[in-house]
Amino acid sequence: MNPAKEPLKKTLVLATRNAGKIKELEALLAGYGLHVLGLGDFPDIGEIEETGVTFAENSLLKARTVAQATGLVALADDSGLVVDALDGAPGVYSARYSGEGATDERNNSKLLDVLKDVPEKDRGCRFVSVVAAVAPCGAELVAEGRWEGRVLFAPRGNGGFGYDPLFLDLELGKSAAELAPAEKNARSHRGRALRALLADWPDFWARASR
């Protein structure tokens, strides 16, 4: 079956190929009666260049591109780590912080290196996520979530992805990579953004179905 022929109200395309993001978003969307697809279901859609300078710009760019290409409602997340001592870097460049061919390991290594002389009290940071939903008709919905923390001096934990091993949740005293998936989703920037988005979901779906 062509995914684009499925009923609009039952199908949502996640505008990502990131397996970690897809897993988290699917868990957060469970219970909403949606059939969730990823970009892997649409091989004709190539890489979407993130040319925006803010999380919101990139999130909307990805969601608009996928909604237009598939004829389905698209959900995109753009997120990253904002470090106070680095004037907000790596920010929107979090996924490619270590340059061409960047990996989580290389990104984390670079972050630790540039912060090696920064004392604990000055290692404040936050994860930021902006989630955008866009319908083929042009209806849009955007929400933001933040998760405050501190950059650790060494990785901790084996879960999650990205900068999770270096992000300390100050309240729990654990890194994001030490949290169980459900616990992380309850506290994370992406979870907060998606819950804010879903608070307005009924109105958005009504507009999306016109």
Q: Phi first, then psi: give them for residue 193, nearest 5 degrees.
A: -65, -45
* pLDDT of 2: 45
- Hey, what amino acid is at 24? E
* CATH number of the domain that residue 163 is part of: 3.90.950.10
Contact 78, 55 (CB under 8 A): yes
* pLDDT of 9: 53
Question: Rounded to two decimals, what is the model's pTM?
Answer: 0.86
Q: What is the pLDDT of residues 165-179, one digit of tens each?
A: 999 999 999 999 999
* pLDDT of 1: 39
Which segments of the chain have a pLDDT < 70?
1-9
Q: What is the pLDDT of residues 98-138, one digit of tens each?
A: 999 999 999 999 999 999 999 999 999 999 999 999 999 99
- 23: closest CA among 202, 188, 145? 188
Active-site positions read 78
* pLDDT of 35: 82
Q: What single DSSP character describes residue 90?
A: B
Contact 14, 21 (CB under 8 A): yes
- 94: closest CA among 81, 110, 111? 81
* pLDDT of 4: 46
Dig out the tokens for 73 from the structure. Answer: 């409602």
The range of the structural domain enclosing residue 167 comes to 3-208
Number of domains the chain is built from: 1
